[in-house]
Structure 1
């Protein structure tokens, strides 16, 4: 069996505090266009990084500052790649538009009582979800001319909500929380009447500590979650939106014994490999175990990258485009871009 290796392409410096999160622009890296991603930090700024096509190296093309007054915790590009949403501990979410290479803040979303932890666009770019330490999840609808209206405030978590993520094809939203739960939200009917249609893992197979992050596979029929309980869990659904309404998720398997400190980030590649990043400074890659016995697909550790960063790894994310690149962000203030190569 061929051996996989994560080869460090470049170490990016510029932030002067921990880097919390990053997001690749989904509209880049295709048909000879350079890959672009955004990173956000405790230094209150967002940086836009672009790859030089001739050298393959990355440079910071813009610094978005003087808008947020506290840590920027999360950033997410719209599906078109034209807008960037940034969520901050200052209780606001900012919307940035790329106008001829310059980024302008075109909207500021207010309403959460305190720190906004995560932001996510739906597949069509018409809805934006935010979540907060105030235990709530808000759904915003994009109006003409970069205006956003809050159409629903979802109360269901009993603690800080760490992450929200839209399903890749359906308007179904998943949230995960400090209350150890994962909740599935759907719009039941024509009105903006969003409801919690499922809480995952209770009373069986659930995480036993904070759930930090989640990611879907490319087809959207599987989801992976990671937790402070040092496990990664894989969930599956038959059909996310069936004719009879919502189709529930069920627990497929639990991966434990790999990380020995909190797992902060998880991300599934289009090729079916998911990466995890943790407080043990390692990045680990998992893939389908095609040799697995009867009982469905299990997952096996493909690679463990020791000392990937000097401190906690807060975010890992696979790139769009043809070549499998992975970016990681850390408490050490750096971002690293890795290439997955076969030996």
Structure 2
């Protein structure tokens, strides 16, 4: 059931600039669904970070919707032999003439992961022949490109897109091979230098973009494998990079780089990975506490007021959503104070940020992570997807029970108390939070996709005509087994 609409005096459309402090309730109301229906199970929908585009993986294809028209913009077809399970937008890379003048071009990149055990690189290039560069792409997105969409019921995405005059197509540029089973998740590092892929074969692969080093044009893809991580004991369901745009994300981790990768697995654990000074990727922490498959994870997307390292949120088949924080390294701070100038001591190759431990012992170093909160228990079955807004800090979740829930954190409450594992004293059954938890449920809706499971949820900027603050106001988008991609308006009070 949808929560009651707010009164006229209620604040809030979830704008990026001024969300109401400590909201008590959220009214979740459906908006017109994206068109056309896909008529087959859809796995995930991924919004572009800057453009009004949404990529939805289903069957053997990806349908790209325009957020301005809530209709089909384009489609990626013919690249995979089996269903596409996941997709990710490639961080912007401009090819050729990028000044926006005559001959300039703007390149969209998308990577897809499939049940055929491969990942595919795609590009969509706007020629910019009228000298307007980005503007051409923007106009095409807003116009929508759905004239061929009326009756595609076969679910394989082969609907003849790109045959009309003047239409542009996605090009399938490169296949990344190596996994033995389906690719379940993939993610680009914040700067785009690395791509992580995970699979049913229990491994995580890290690929590095070597296009520039290869000496080719800027719009050509060339990737090579730099690491195969095989410490999980089960399918690796998801991977996620810590956002490096946050001042605290680089952290103070001695001989480890600022790039941080987290992976979630069927073995009920989450692992944290960093690249060491020798260029080798090592596991620095294992997060244990879930009582079932960890379906996914998401990093905190906005800077914390206390300046600490971003938190990590995980969700599981045990019906719980957990929040994890890394313990601060007191010895690192003490070392910097002893240096006198506030910087690390130089000239000693055996000294590191881990209390002066020699380099040869680095791989034995482990970070300590604590479960600092368990969100209130809403779901009766597996939690398949969680989205954490980088603008407002609100969290939305969904899963196999068809429920959509929105949570808010009381940021004025203390975060110092560590919540013990489920079953410990002070924690309710099924991992529900202790009374001092500073998270609360502000809105729920049942049967979001009728009798069908909901596979994915994401916060997404609104650009449709009814949006009051285009490009700032957020909505929720859910993707389900019914093949429908549904947007939802969220109003806070």
**Does the pair score TM above 0.5?**
yes
Shift of 1:14: 3.2
Map of 2:295 onto structure 1: 212
Map of 2:222 onto structure 1: 147
1:272-292 deviation digits (Å, cap 9, x = unpaired): 011111111011111113574
Q: Which residue of the other structure, out of 272, 281, 284, is the alignment partner of 2:402?
A: 281
Flag the 1:2–1:199 CA change in 2: closer, same or farther, 3 A: closer
**Higher fraction of helix:** 2
Flag the 1:216–1:230 CA change in 2: closer, same or farther, 3 A: same
Q: Which residue of the other structure, out of 426, 437, 455, is the alignment partner of 1:314?
A: 455
Taking structure 1 as the reference length, the TM-score comes to 0.89
* 2:26/2:406 contact within 8 Å kept: no
Establish whether residue 93 from structure 1 lines up as the match of residue 119 from structure 2.
Answer: yes
* 2:270/2:294 contact within 8 Å kept: yes
Establish whether residue 223 from structure 1 lines up as the match of residue 312 from structure 2.
Answer: yes
Map of 1:31 onto structure 2: none
Structure 1 residues 206-285: aligned runs within 5 Å:
206-218=289-301, 219=303, 221-237=310-326, 244=353, 248-270=368-390, 271-285=392-406
* 2:54/2:67 contact within 8 Å kept: no
Taking structure 2 as the reference length, the TM-score comes to 0.63
Map of 1:79 onto structure 2: 91
* 1:172/1:186 contact within 8 Å kept: yes
Once the two structures are overlaid, the 10-residue window that deviates more, 224-233 or 60-69, is 60-69
Shift of 1:3: 3.3
The higher radius of gyration belongs to 2
Which is bigger in relative contact order (C-alpha 8 A, separation at least 6)?
2
Map of 2:63 onto structure 1: 47
Shift of 1:17: 1.4
Shift of 1:256: 4.9
Shift of 1:247: 5.0
Rounded to whole Å, the distance in 2 between the matches of 1:122 and 1:290 is 28
Establish whether residue 118 from structure 1 lines up as the match of residue 185 from structure 2.
Answer: yes
* 1:70/1:88 contact within 8 Å kept: yes
Flag the 1:162–1:316 CA change in 2: closer, same or farther, 3 A: same
Establish whether residue 24 from structure 1 lines up as the match of residue 91 from structure 2.
Answer: no
Rounded to whole Å, the distance in 1 between the matches of 2:197 and 2:24 is 41
Map of 2:202 onto structure 1: 135
Shift of 1:166: 0.7
1:202-250 deviation digits (Å, cap 9, x = unpaired): xxxx10100001111123611111100011101123569x772675432
Map of 2:136 onto structure 1: none
**Higher fraction of strand:** 1
Flag the 1:146–1:258 CA change in 2: closer, same or farther, 3 A: same
Which structure 1 residue ranges, 4+ long, deviate > 6 Å from structure 2?
Answer: none
Unpaired runs of at least 5, structure 2:
1-22, 94-107, 127-167, 212-219, 245-257, 304-308, 333-343, 345-352, 355-365, 418-436, 462-470
